[in-house]
Amino acid sequence: MKTLTLSLRNGLRRLFPAVCGVLIPLTLTGGDWRQFRGTDISGVSTEAPVPSKWNVKDGENVAWVAELPGRGLSSPIIVGDKVLLTASSGYRQDRLQTLCFDRKTGAKLWERTVWATGRTMCHEKMCVATPTPASDGQRVFSFYSSNDVVCLDLDGNLLWTRGLTSDFPNASNSLGMSSSPVVVDETLVVQVENDADSFATGLDVKTGRSRWKKTRPKRANWTSPVILTEESGRTLALLQSSAGMEAVDPMTGETAWEFTNGASTIPSSVVSGQSVFVPSNGLTVLKSGSEKKPEVLWSDNRLAPGTASPIIVSNKVFILNRAGVVNCADALTGSALWKLRLTGPHSATPIGAGSLLVFINEDGKAQVVDTAKPEGEIVGESDFGETILATPSVADGELFVRSDGHLWKIAAKK
Amino acid sequence: MRRQVLMLTLLSAAAGANLSAADLTPHVTAIKAVGAEGAGNEAAGAAVRELSKEPASSLPALLAAFDGASPHAANYLRGAVEAIADRAAAQKQALPLKDIEAFVLDRARDPRARRLGYELLLNVDADVEGRIIPGMLLDPSPDFRRDAVERFVKAAKETPEANKSEAVALWKQALSGATDADQVKSIATELKKLGEKVDLVGHFGFLTQWKIVGPFDNRGLIGFAKSYPPEEKLDFAAKYEGQTGEVAWSDVKTEDEFGLLDIAKAVSPYKGAVMYLAADFVSDKDRAVEFRLGTPNAWKVWLNGEPLFGRDEYHRGMAIDQYRVKVALRQGPNQILIKLCQNEQTEDWAQRYQLQFRVCESSGIAVAPVVAARDINRTTVTVQAGGAE
């Protein structure tokens, strides 16, 4: 099992930008993909290329497919030899499942269910299992639209649970909640932001108790936090909202700096090196500093993402806009490079594997774009034949994709 | 504590379990002690680990321990039950099926635990559904009722057209157990096709007649937090200074079969406004019920002058039973007051100003007032039979 400790990863992250002086995707090797858009939340794996084409009917490049017992817009996560994901089922969507599959064979290893303690009403396109779970390598933290947090060990033993809506009854959104939590060292950072009782909290991964809880802008927010490790070594959790971006100490919740020019409440930010790409006024790139306000490196209102979040590959930023057009720009300057129209609509954020970007639209059609080509080029198209809204996951050249009914592992035969 | 020990002892004896109640009780007690904001999580997690080591014979006692458990504690207990059942399956250990089935059939037990026990049986006994579910039509558990309703729906659909009276009887039986909106709607549609009248207002327990006053000012969203005179005292003869001049209480009633009161249509499409609605609910006894609301608007609710809950959210969707508020009705008249706020959004999808309100048991089955169709200003009332359809 190729795993690195988080502290080693952090150390490497701190080292690389300082040595190279350029934007470097923060993805590290290790074969895991431990939270939404990967362990480092870059959405990129540099370990090995994924197949550009596959066929779920004849099995070409399909390592296995597993049946799922419930709906889900959450991504699978990969921890060692296990694939974990969440689902929700029942007429009231009040059965909240965490599922664990054998990464090699697709066999279901275990399944755990809790009853929702918070509200389960969602927009019909969403479901209660929309946030992606997170793992620190020893535990998995499943989070749901009902604001239930369930901590299990990797063998499925229940360690603790929290019901954040039962604790704070007005913390809910009748359209559903989607923010995926992130693990930063010993803290699970959770955004529970809505029109009525909006907050973020840092939960002790060992007990589930709040290290801190802070009031957040009172407006519905579906974005997920990201992690920034500054050159100084300070690690910050970045909380996006309609108001902008707030960088907090994950252990204390203390605010380090704020960006107050507003931001989107659907696509999330992405961090590359010391730069934070925020869906704000199109796209705004921030650089953290010693001041209470970050430096704005550049901003371009033509680079507004749709639902999918931005992604950085090889010093290029890729934005999938509402019209289904991929805009490629220089990540250092914002200069436009090329555009490529895809078949949409898309809810899932693309993920990167080497120079490839994998886009999957809501009809289940995957389009693989080679970003190394001068104008970008679709090098493979495949059809899952089912609605897919969840962002895929990738590690070690293995692509994991889920619908409401199935989980696929796409990988070339080794 | 003594009661728990006694209960577990009796159950273990009845189930022929290997362990004594004393083995389980400290762990169950630790789990039931979990509180708000993660209090007691470590002890509960440790208790789950210990309980998970118990043999399959402990399952009936563990299911019995759900009685009185908070939703949070029930999830911890479930974790232990699932771990024991998984291990039993992996090691091909037999489950105490007879005892679990007896537990499942005991309606006095916790509905969550009964359903969990049923699902344990389903994994190993293909006949259990046909044996148990038909008798669950009026079960306290919504999940059991839903399954039972499905069986009656299937039977009704399979009834030959010539046997209309038999089909009607089956559809009516199905309706008697249905509280999920999708099932009720489809059954009502079929009954209407067969020429039957269906009282969905009575079936769900919707309140359809209200006193209403307003608008008061909610421009700039100031109204949700501001206390206007109806919050201080309900006086249906009073007149108040409203947003657009003097306002007074009037009657409003909806004929919608799902109890939807559309203020925008029935009164006026106010924007930036607060309206108050009041109704009386006469209860046959002191009882715990739920107020269930559906509205795309911000709202607050009071019962007998006491604030219960409020929600400052606009136009994020509306559904039957969107919100559930647990309340304690007292015997006799109970005064319900609702504050319904509309914002100033101009988009087409942000124009709804609506309320759907019902009174039911926690199972979802309607609770009817002993006095219905009562004008709360009148001294004489029309008495109707209580009970859900």
Measure B185 CA to nearest chain A CA, in Å: 15
Judged by a CB distance cut-off of 8 A, whether residue B146 touches chain A is yes
pLDDT score of A14 more than 60: no
The span from the CA of A6 to the CA of A61, in Å, is: 32
CA-closest candidate to residue B7, choices B126, B110, B145: B110
Q: Are A160 and A208 in contact (CB under 8 A)?
A: yes
Q: What does the H/E/C string look like for B178-206?
A: CCCHHHHHHHHHHHHHCCCCCCHHHHHCE
Inter-chain residue contact A115 with B83, CB threshold 8 Å: no
The domain locations on chain B are 2-125, 142-198, 204-360
Helix (H, G, I), strand (E, B) or coil at A240: strand
Q: Are B206 and B358 in contact (CB under 8 A)?
A: yes
Assign A161 a pLDDT band (cuts: 50, 70, 90). very high
Which pLDDT band, with edges at 50, 70 and 90, does A200 fall under? very high
Backbone angles phi, psi at B378, to 5 degrees: -85, 160
**Residue A31 carries which DSSP code?**
S
pLDDT digits (tens, 9 = 90+) for A243-287: 999 999 999 999 999 999 999 999 999 999 999 999 999 999 999
Nearest to B71 among A112, A157, A163 (CB): A163
Q: What are phi and psi of A276, to 5 degrees?
A: -115, 120
Cβ of residue B119 closer than 8 Å to a chain A Cβ:
no
Chain A interface mutation, best of B31, B62, B82, highest count of A Cβ atoms under 10 Å: B82
Across the range B285-296, mean pLDDT stands at 98
| Contact between B329 and B241 (Cβ < 8 Å) | no
Q: How confident is the model at residue B305 (pLDDT cuts 50, 70, 90)?
A: very high
Closest CA to A131 of A74, A203, A191: A74
* Of the partner residues B41, B42, B314, the one whose CB lies closest to the CB of residue A195: B314
Residue in A122, A150, A158, A207 to test binding to B, most B beta-carbons within 10 Å: A158
- B316: contact with A, CB 8 A cutoff: yes
CATH topology of domain B204-360: Jelly Rolls (2.60.120)
pLDDT score of B4 more than 90: no
CB count, 10 Å around CB of B197? 7
b/e sequence A2-18, b meaning 16+ C-beta within 10 Å: eebebeebbeebbebbe
| Chain A contact for B52 (CB, 8 A cutoff) | yes
The secondary structure of residue A71, as a DSSP letter, is B
The domains found in chain A, sorted by start residue, are 6-410 (2.140.10.10)
The closest alpha carbon to B178, from B140, B143, B145, B136, belongs to: B145
A109 touches chain B (CB under 8 A): no
Shortest distance between the Cα of B75 and any Cα of chain A, in A, equals 5
- The chain B residue lying nearest A94, using CA atoms, is B143
pLDDT at residue B100 tops 50? yes
pTM for the whole structure: 0.91
Rounded Cα distance between B62 and B82, Å, is 11
E strands within A262-308?
A: 270-272, 275-278, 283-287, 295-300
Question: Which chain A residues have a beta carbon less than 8 Å from that of B45?
Answer: 158-160
> DSSP readout, B32-89?
HT--GGGTTHHHHHHHHHHHTTS-GGGHHHHHHTTTT--HHHHHHHHHHHHHHHHHHH
* CB atoms inside a 10 Å sphere around CB B108: 7
Decide if A253 contacts A210 (C-beta within 8 A).
no
Q: Is B237 on the interface with A (CB under 8 A)?
A: no
Looking at CA atoms only, how far is residue A251 from chain B in angstroms? 17
Judge residue A156's burial from the number of C-beta atoms within 10 Å of its C-beta, 0-12 exposed, 13-18 middle, 19 or more buried: buried
Assign B371 a pLDDT band (cuts: 50, 70, 90): low
